[in-house]
Structure formats: C-alpha cells, structure tokens
Amino acid sequence: MVVGVSGGPDSVALLLALHELSSSMKIKLRVAHLDHGLRNNSKNDGRFVLDLASKLGLSAAIVGRAGVGALARRMKISIEEAGRLARYDFFLRTAKRFGASRVAVGHNRDDQAETVLMRLLRGSSGSGLSGIPLKRPLLDLSGKSGRGKPAWVIRPLLERSRAEIEAFLRLRGQRARKDPTNTDTSFMRNRIRHELLPLLERRFNPRVRAMLARAAQVLAEDDSFLEDYGAAIFRRLAVRRGRAVSLDAARLSRVPLPLRRRVLLLAAVAGGADQKRVVQPHLDALVRLVSARKGATDLPGAGAEVRGRVILFSKNHSSR
C-alpha cells in the first residue's frame, strides 16, 4: 500500500496508524510525498517525510516534484486543481512502480464538511454534494486509470474529525508540518474553514461539521443507486457517432427526472464535457433542451445541441 504523506497532521497520523496496524493487516507500506514547488521552503516537507519514514523503519519512501504553477497555466485551471491532479498522477505512478493496488490519503471529516459547503456555494449537482468518496479509481492527468488493474485511492480517516487526529498525534508525541497556505483566506476552502464553519457552529449548530459529513454519506449512497440505474438507461438510449454522443429526446422525456439528469450528465461527459465543472445550472439547461424543438447550450469542455429529434453532445459545439 502506498501512503500519500504531505507532512501535515492528517497524513502523518494516517501513516502512524497504518504503521501500527501493518503487521496485523499484513500490509507493506510505501511512502510517497510530492513537492508542489509553490513555496520556497517546500523541500523541508520532503525531508521531514523521509526522516519520519526512516524513523518508522520504512525504507521505500519516494519524494517527487512537480511544477504545479506551470501546470495550472498550461491547463487553464486553478492552482488547487492543478495540485490535486499532479498529486494523484504521482500517486498512480508510484502505485504502478511498486505494484500497489491502494493509495491511502488523509482526508478527514472536516475536509468533507468543507467540501460539501464549497460545492453547495458553487451550485454543484446532487452528485457533487455527496462530497469526497471513501474510495475511487486513481486517474492520471489524461483522465485514464492506465493499463491493467486500476489502483484505488482510499481515505481511512474520512469519518474522523481534525480534532481527533490532532489528539492522536499528541498522545504519541509526534509533530507534523504546518502549511502556511492553509491560512490564506484568498482560497475559498480556507474562507469556509476559518470563517463560515466557525460562524455556523457558534450561531446555528455546534455539530454542523458532523451533520454535513453525514448528509454527504447519505447522498453518496443515493448517488450510487442513481448512477447505476442511470448508466443502464444511458446504455440503452445513447448512440455514439465518433467522439459525439446523441440521445433520442422523445424517449428520454419519458424517463423520470432524477434519472433523466443522470443520463444527460453521462451523455455530456461522453461527448467531452469536464464532469468536475458541470454544475446544477448546466443540468437544468440540458433538461430544458429535452423538451425543446431547437436550441443549444454550452458546457465546460463541450456543448449540446438539439438536431431534429435528438440531442447531440460533442466538443465541436462552441463551449466555454
């Protein structure tokens, strides 16, 4: 198993916990750290991770480096998104190098609550509000899982709070690195973490983080059912034409609305849309197209257009 360790409290606690369990679970741990190259002293994080791995007797520790700023400019995405893509691409390559099927990362319950609020404020669809999944296939920068059996990213601490994790480290006398960018409120997640969530706890519900995480879990369960059912309908209705995908609007209109949205999302992604950037207003526009005789709508990375009795999804349609 590969353990992604940034050097922060969450990933350090994750590494310690897995190390303590490794004998009984019969797992061999490999440590992976990616230097994003965004801070002058970022190399110190890598040295800290290597020292910690050595202290635990873990010889297989790898430090990689990535030009996240350049990647963000090249792909025209945010620094946060570029960092996430580079990180998981590095984890995938490390997993392949060691023949590992799992990569463990340190997301916790507070991260889940922040993610749900952030996506809600951005107008995410129901799928997005299901938050961070407990596990998912690892994808490279091209969006593919690679050849052979895919590796999975897992999040063993997702149901544990940040306070519990920090208490775990104190009990073991283990320090961790602090990332100064986590206090920079120019980032939306940090504003939610340091301003919005404390306000909600003081004025509305002191257990709001746990409530948001629980809501995400329930939505994820519902989402899984709808995803499977919607995928079956999509396979029946979709017609592929090269890189484009079309749906029969009349047949789709008879599908119940919650499933219709799923089918439309699957068609949009199959036609080239960026699923992570498709939000509820995009889905609402697609639903309106189903009953329209003509019209078109832009999607992130692709577009949809009514042509006769079908809705065509493709990158050829002008998109933003």
Domain with 294 in it: what CATH number?
3.30.465.60
Mean pLDDT value across the chain: 91
pLDDT value of residue 12 = 98
pLDDT value of residue 320 = 44
Same-domain pairing of 280 and 164: no
- Please report, for residues 83, 84, 90, the alpha-carbon distance to residue 141 in angstroms, rounded to integers and kept in the order given: 11, 10, 9
Q: Does residue 266 fall inside a structural domain?
A: yes
Q: Does residue 205 fall inside a structural domain?
A: no
Q: Does residue 15 fall inside a structural domain?
A: yes
Q: Does residue 81 fall inside a structural domain?
A: yes
- Cross-strand pairs, 11: none
Domain with 170 in it: what CATH number?
3.40.50.620
pLDDT value of residue 146 = 57
Same-domain pairing of 32 and 165: yes
Q: Which domain does 72 fall in, by range?
A: 2-109+121-181
| Strand pairing class (135-137; 152-154) | antiparallel
Same-domain pairing of 150 and 253: no
Q: How many domains are contained in the chain?
A: 2
| Residue 91 CB partners (closer than 8 Å, separation 6+) | 2, 4, 32, 34, 103, 105, 138, 151, 153
| Residue 11 CB partners (closer than 8 Å, separation 6+) | 3, 4, 5, 105, 106
Q: Does residue 114 fall inside a structural domain?
A: no
Task: Show pLDDT as tens, one digit a residue, over the chain (320 residues).
Answer: 999 999 999 999 999 999 999 999 999 999 999 999 888 788 999 999 999 999 999 987 999 999 888 988 998 888 888 899 999 999 999 999 999 999 999 999 999 999 999 999 988 877 889 999 999 998 766 555 555 567 899 999 999 999 999 999 999 999 999 988 889 898 899 999 999 999 999 999 999 999 999 999 999 999 899 999 999 999 999 999 888 999 999 999 999 999 999 999 999 999 999 888 888 899 999 999 998 878 999 999 999 999 888 999 998 664 44
pLDDT value of residue 143 = 59
Q: Which two tokens stand for residue 264?
A: 């439309």
